[in-house]
């Protein structure tokens, strides 16, 4: 496919995150002439200030428990372990720089032109590019918006002293006392991470329980396990104000409580990163959630302008953006009609301690959808902890539509839940039945075998 004579490119992508880079590469592979504009960093949120550094810090935090667990297995450590924050932080930075280079080489290898510039829509087929040297304009048959999300911090007295999730990875000094505000993925994960790294860790959430979109039993089990590990949970409260107190911060809560901490993370959500994109130039309006409306072909109200990932309404997950990018390329450059994505069976993990892995419906959602369901669940002390001395427990749960015997939800709280649930997600996506699970021979001794050995009905 060659570019239309009147346009310089077939596809111009604004944003070099996971979705934008995947769309650019796949379109180029289909013969399109493609360019990408990025004014910050290659790889987007996930690589630079999201999934990758978060998981690296989560690995680091797990060592705290591992050192304690090793004693029960006969290991004699030379002395109490201590964290060198600078080593962790700087090694993380080196790894991200390595990944930035990989993304650049992937684009170059695919023949994609990369502009290190701030891009803004100037027409249905034109983009203005601004750099320190000046500005220029390019034209494209289609323009893809893939600028992802951006952290949002609520406004309250002293909110300027709170960090957002873009800033938390590169602190000059380790916070011995850490507070996170919020009840979503990021808040729960970082409360666990800094607790595991050795901070006195507090989580503040205005509602009665975090992770509101998750299965209620999973939420309650996670709450109890995190509390056992030492995370101080403050539900039904909010931050009233923050005041500096020497090198520390005084955090005043709506309950009247005062907490003195060294750092505050406002993990209160992310919003679509649409500011400065020039949407108003083309009359593209955001929906009630601040997202860009698109059709099944990822077209906005202006057909030549496309959008995907966190800019649009859907799960804000990197693999979703990647899948949408491939769908978009199939529609517009491979000229096929791909099967629509099934957003109901997208698995996800929360890398708190212990981890959460989940796919499909929660028990509450299943009760609303089906006339009758069956619940199979178990919680137990994993074999690993029979010698470690840890009191950590694990939860595993299957939700079954009683009429068809199809497993419509699977949930797990425990070590490596994200790794394990990926395989279970294939079964749930395929529509396998509880009988299929029961007929699958388990691997012994593993915790994973519990998913195929839960035969006793827990409740209807």
pLDDT at residue number 58 = 98
Q: Is residue 377 within 8 Å of residue 399, measured between CB atoms? A: no
Q: Is residue 165 within 8 Å of residue 151, measured between CB atoms? A: yes
In the structure, what pLDDT confidence band is assigned to residue 424 with cuts at 50, 70 and 90? very high
In the structure, what pLDDT confidence band is assigned to residue 16 with cuts at 50, 70 and 90? very high
**Per annotation, catalytic residue among 64, 332, 335, 444:** 444
Q: Is 25 exposed, middle or buried (0-12, 13-18, 19+ CB in 10 A)?
A: buried
In the structure, what pLDDT confidence band is assigned to residue 5 with cuts at 50, 70 and 90? confident
Residue 48 phi/psi, 5-degree rounding, is: -95, -45
Rounded Cα gap, residues 16 and 38, in angstroms: 6
Give CA separation, 276 vs 1, 107, 119, 280, in Å.
31, 25, 8, 9
Contacts of 31 (CB under 8 A, 6+ apart): 1, 2, 333
Q: Mean of the per-residue pLDDT values for the chain?
A: 96
* pLDDT, mean of residues 16-31: 98
Could you report how far apart the first and last alpha carbons of the chain are, in Å? Answer: 56
Question: Domains of the chain, with CATH numbers?
Answer: 9-49+88-150+271-343 (3.50.50.60), 153-268 (3.50.50.60), 354-453 (3.30.390.30)
Question: Does the structure show a pLDDT above 90 at 7?
Answer: yes
Residue-wise DSSP of 310-336: GGSSS---HHHHHHHHHHHHHHHTS--
pTM above 0.85, yes or no: yes
Maximum CA pair distance of the chain?
A: 73
Rounded Cα gap, residues 358 and 346, in angstroms: 9
Residue-wise DSSP of 60-104: HHHHHHHHHHHHTTT---SS-----HHHHHHHHHHHHHHHHHHHH
Q: Is 358 helix (H, G, I), strand (E, B) or coil?
A: strand
Rounded Cα gap, residues 313 and 272, in angstroms: 10
Residue-wise DSSP of 256-288: S-EEEESEEEE---EEE--TTS-GGGGT----T
pLDDT at residue number 79 = 85
Listed residue (265, 266, 269) closest to 199, CA to CA: 265
The tokens for 425 are 């997600």
In the structure, what pLDDT confidence band is assigned to residue 29 with cuts at 50, 70 and 90? very high
Q: Is residue 342 within 8 Å of residue 39, measured between CB atoms? A: no
* pLDDT, mean of residues 207-234: 98
202 in catalytic set? no
Question: Which is it for strands 9-14 and 134-145: parallel, antiparallel or unpaired?
Answer: parallel
Rounded Cα gap, residues 378 and 350, in angstroms: 20
Listed residue (12, 22, 11) closest to 115, CA to CA: 12
pLDDT at residue number 4 = 64
| Between residues 76 and 3, the one the model is more confident about | 76
Question: Does the structure show a pLDDT above 90 at 1?
Answer: no
């Amino acid at each position: 496919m060659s570019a239309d004579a009147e346009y310089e490119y077939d596809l111009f992508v604004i944003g070099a995150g996971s979705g934008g880079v995947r769309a650019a590469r796949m379109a180029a592979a289909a013969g399109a002439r493609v360019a990408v504009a990025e004014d910050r960093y290659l790889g987007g949120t996930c690589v630079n200030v999201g999934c990758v550094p978060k998981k690296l810090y989560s690995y680091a935090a797990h060592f705290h428990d591992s050192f304690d667990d090793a004693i029960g297995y006969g290991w004699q450590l030379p002395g109490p372990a201590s964290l060198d924050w600078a080593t962790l932080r700087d090694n993380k930075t080196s790894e991200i720089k390595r990944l930035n280079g990989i993304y650049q080489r992937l684009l170059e290898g695919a023949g994609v032109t990369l502009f290190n510039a701030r891009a803004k829509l100037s027409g249905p087929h034109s983009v203005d590019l601004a750099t320190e040297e000046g500005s220029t304009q390019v034209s494209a048959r289609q323009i893809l918006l893939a600028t992802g999300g951006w952290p949002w911090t609520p406004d309250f007295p002293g909110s300027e002293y709170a960090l957002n999730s873009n800033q938390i990875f590169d602190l000059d000094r380790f916070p011995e006392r850490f507070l996170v505000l919020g009840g979503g993925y990021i808040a729960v994960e970082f409360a666990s991470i800094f607790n595991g790294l050795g901070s006195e860790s507090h989580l503040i959430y205005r509602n009665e329980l975090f992770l509101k979109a998750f299965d209620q039993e999973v939420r309650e089990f996670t709450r109890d396990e995190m509390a056992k590990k030492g995370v101080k949970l403050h539900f039904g409260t909010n931050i009233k104000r923050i005041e500096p107190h020497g090198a520390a911060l005084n955090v005043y809560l709506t309950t009247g409580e005062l907490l003195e901490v060294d750092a505050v993370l406002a993990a209160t959500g992310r919003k679509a990163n649409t500011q400065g994109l020039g949407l108003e130039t083309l009359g593209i309006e955001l929906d009630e959630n601040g997202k860009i409306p698109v059709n099944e072909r990822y077209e906005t109200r202006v057909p030549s302008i496309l959008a995907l990932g966190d800019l649009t309404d859907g799960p804000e997950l990197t693999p979703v953006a990647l899948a949408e990018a491939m769908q978009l390329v199939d529609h517009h450059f491979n000229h096929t009609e791909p099967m629509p994505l099934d957003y109901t069976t997208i698995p996800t993990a929360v890398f708190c301690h212990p981890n959460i892995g989940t796919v499909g419906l929660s028990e509450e959602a299943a009760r609303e959808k089906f006339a009758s369901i069956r619940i199979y669940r178990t919680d137990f002390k994993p074999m690993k902890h029979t010698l470690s001395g840890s009191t950590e427990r694990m939860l595993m749960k299957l939700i079954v539509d009683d009429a068809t015997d199809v497993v419509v939800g699977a949930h797990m709280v425990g070590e490596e839940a994200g790794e394990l649930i990926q395989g279970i997600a294939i079964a749930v996506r395929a529509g396998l039945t509880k009988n299929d699970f029961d007929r699958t021979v388990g691997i012994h001794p593993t915790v994973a075998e519990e998913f195929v050995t839960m035969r006793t009905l827990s409740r209807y």
